[in-house]
Chains A and B, each alone.
Chain A
């Protein structure tokens, strides 16, 4: 993506990075826990955005891959004693395989059917996780306890601080990987497949391979996020991975901005904190209104979509473009105009 105002973008990125690094030293354990959750969600959203935003394959079921990553990590750690820094990559690799395999039948479906099929996957996940046959491994409906890792090499960090930094490192590395991916040949191929699949094939792009691999990579991201979640929360159970999780992911990438990796952070902040804000807003309605946060959340969603139909990233681009038009009257970047219209004409 063309950086409209390169300097201000780098400055913002730098400020964010410094804040992120200094944060653990003045934040409480609770805030570190929340921050770690935000990073975990951001990783999952990065993955989902690769698939849905850049490659146009709508998935409503990424909670399933998140669950596989979480349970995989938990089982490896709790039942097989594997240390977390080995367990999470393994779980991620398993998810890559699962995603890649799921990508094959997905090739046959059009956008809508894929959405519904993945929706079905999200709904079926808790049931598959609590299948009695797997109980010895999964701990059944009581779930699995995962011991929280402590800082290695005797570093003077609390478990919360260490986990936050670990999530930060993973998020940064995966963001860097994803952004390299989309900037390069692969990214262009993915975008081409999304916008003009037939033209892309004619140009020699192996759509099937790219699409299934994209599914695999996005599942890998979700799986790593799930694994990190397992060690940060310290517990996995079927209830941790229900439909609301997959829906939250979808909300996250749309609010953050499809086709924008930077939007993943905004989306993660949204789905982590806005429900809490909705909770606070209903306090004034009195005790019977404990049910209302859901309504407030729904209203907020609609308002945000009205205000920013292309997500936060789209809004940022629009503002940047306004500024640029005033300054340069420059050319428009086609990719920057994209907002995820989905279907080919």
Chain B
């Protein structure tokens, strides 16, 4: 039983990171119908930015917020400079552009910071919570941060005028323009938010997976899986998917088939779910009009 709780706990913790990344993916998807394959590398780069600040002596939370803000700005700039020119290009052309961005960030991080594994502090250090050591303080912190991010994002979109404008721009760009919404800037802000959220994910993940230029690849992969499982057009679905994938990975690896094929099995499960519900568990079902 103890082992089961352990697996569950670490699955939820890492699942929280996947959930945050999935949320970032969904944000961009909802606005542009594109999957940003560079999300993971951008998050990694933001994390290195925070690390560099802390290396220079900044306290954790100040570096954290600086990284989040810098990522927001970076996201906006990337959208305006690099993504915007391809707005009318075919889907796959944009995919290649995102791949190019991913290569650039990965190589830049390697060049600037080297490839050795580095430690990254957690703001939640201390004795494991809940005594029995099922979950470290950081892991519990990650789950709380994930929930906080989800709530903030929900509140932003639901209750603020800007959030409303962004939703409108994503759903119906033409009508939004007619009522005076600057659709282009809504997209840019969407990218900025996604980058900021990604930065949070990176900084939550780094104490667990350790900081190196390739750290986000595995995380991004599972974030995709989570977003797909939960439904790419539903933020809460995607977040749920992230948690589900995290837990499922651990349980499948521990109890069903052993770690050697758990990657394949987990992915097979996702494909099976998609066959049953092609838009993901909570995604909108697409009905095509003839």
Residues of A participating in the B interface, judged by any CB pair closer than 8 Å: 52, 58, 105, 108-113, 115-117, 119-121, 123-124, 127-128, 131-132, 197-198, 202, 247, 250-251, 253-255, 258, 288-289, 291-302, 305-306, 309-310, 339-344
Whether A131 lies near B260 (C-beta < 8 A) is yes
Whether A305 lies near B86 (C-beta < 8 A) is yes
**Residues of A with C-beta under 8 A to B89:** 305, 309, 339
Whether A294 lies near B91 (C-beta < 8 A) is no
The reply to whether the CB of B165 lies closer than 8 angstroms to some CB of chain A is no
Also in contact, A294 and B274, with CB within 8 A (given A250-B92, A305-B96): no
In the bound assembly, the distance between CA atoms of A209 and B140 in angstroms comes to: 50
The reply to whether the CB of B93 lies closer than 8 angstroms to some CB of chain A is yes
In the bound assembly, the distance between CA atoms of A247 and B103 in angstroms comes to: 11
Interface pairs (11), CB distance under 8 Å: A105-B274, A108-B274, A113-B232, A117-B228, A251-B99, A254-B92, A254-B96, A300-B100, A302-B101, A310-B90, A341-B90
Say which residue of B85, B92, B106, B270 sits within 8 Å of A58 (CB atoms).
Answer: B92
Whether A294 lies near B221 (C-beta < 8 A) is no
Q: Which 5 A-B pairs have the closest CB atoms?
A: A294-B107, A298-B103, A301-B100, A295-B107, A298-B104
In the bound assembly, the distance between CA atoms of A310 and B90 in angstroms comes to: 8
Whether B274 lies near A306 (C-beta < 8 A) is no
In the bound assembly, the distance between CA atoms of A197 and B271 in angstroms comes to: 23
Whether A343 lies near B35 (C-beta < 8 A) is no
For B, the interface residue count at a CB cutoff of 8 angstroms equals 46
In the bound assembly, the distance between CA atoms of A155 and B150 in angstroms comes to: 69
Whether A120 lies near B270 (C-beta < 8 A) is yes
Whether B107 lies near A258 (C-beta < 8 A) is no
Whether B35 lies near A112 (C-beta < 8 A) is yes
Whether A254 lies near B95 (C-beta < 8 A) is yes
Q: Specify the chain A residue showing the minimal Cβ separation from B103.
A: A298
In the bound assembly, the distance between CA atoms of A121 and B89 in angstroms comes to: 27
B260-285 interface mask toward A, CB cutoff 8 Å, 1 = contact, 0 = none?
11011001001100110011100000
**Residues of B with C-beta under 8 A to A302:** 82, 97, 100-101
**Residues of B with C-beta under 8 A to A115:** 35
In the bound assembly, the distance between CA atoms of A112 and B275 in angstroms comes to: 14
Stretch at the interface among B2-10, B61-69, B108-116, B166-174: B108-116
In the bound assembly, the distance between CA atoms of A344 and B33 in angstroms comes to: 13
Q: How far is the CB of B278 from chain A (nearest CB, A)?
A: 5
Whether A127 lies near B261 (C-beta < 8 A) is yes
**Residues of A with C-beta under 8 A to B261:** 127-128, 131
In the bound assembly, the distance between CA atoms of A295 and B100 in angstroms comes to: 8
In the bound assembly, the distance between CA atoms of A229 and B160 in angstroms comes to: 57
Q: Specify the chain B residue showing the minimal Cβ separation from A296.
A: B107
**Residues of A with C-beta under 8 A to B264:** 124, 127-128
In the bound assembly, the distance between CA atoms of A133 and B93 in angstroms comes to: 40
Q: How far is the CB of A280 from chain B (nearest CB, A)?
A: 15
Q: How far is the CB of A182 from chain B (nearest CB, A)?
A: 18
Q: Specify the chain A residue showing the minimal Cβ separation from B286.
A: A110
Whether B288 lies near A198 (C-beta < 8 A) is yes
Whether B275 lies near A305 (C-beta < 8 A) is no
Also in contact, A341 and B107, with CB within 8 A (given A113-B274, A116-B35): no
Q: How far is the CB of A149 from chain B (nearest CB, A)?
A: 33
In the bound assembly, the distance between CA atoms of A197 and B99 in angstroms comes to: 29
Also in contact, A294 and B106, with CB within 8 A (given A117-B228, A124-B264): yes
Q: How far is the CB of A55 from chain B (nearest CB, A)?
A: 13
**Residues of A with C-beta under 8 A to B260:** 127, 131-132
**Residues of B with C-beta under 8 A to A131:** 260-261
In the bound assembly, the distance between CA atoms of A111 and B232 in angstroms comes to: 12
Q: How far is the CB of A257 from chain B (nearest CB, A)?
A: 11
With most chain A CB atoms within 10 A of its CB, the pick from B91, B102, B104, B267 is: B91
Whether A340 lies near B288 (C-beta < 8 A) is no
Whether B90 lies near A339 (C-beta < 8 A) is yes
Q: Specify the chain B residue showing the minimal Cβ separation from A58.
A: B92
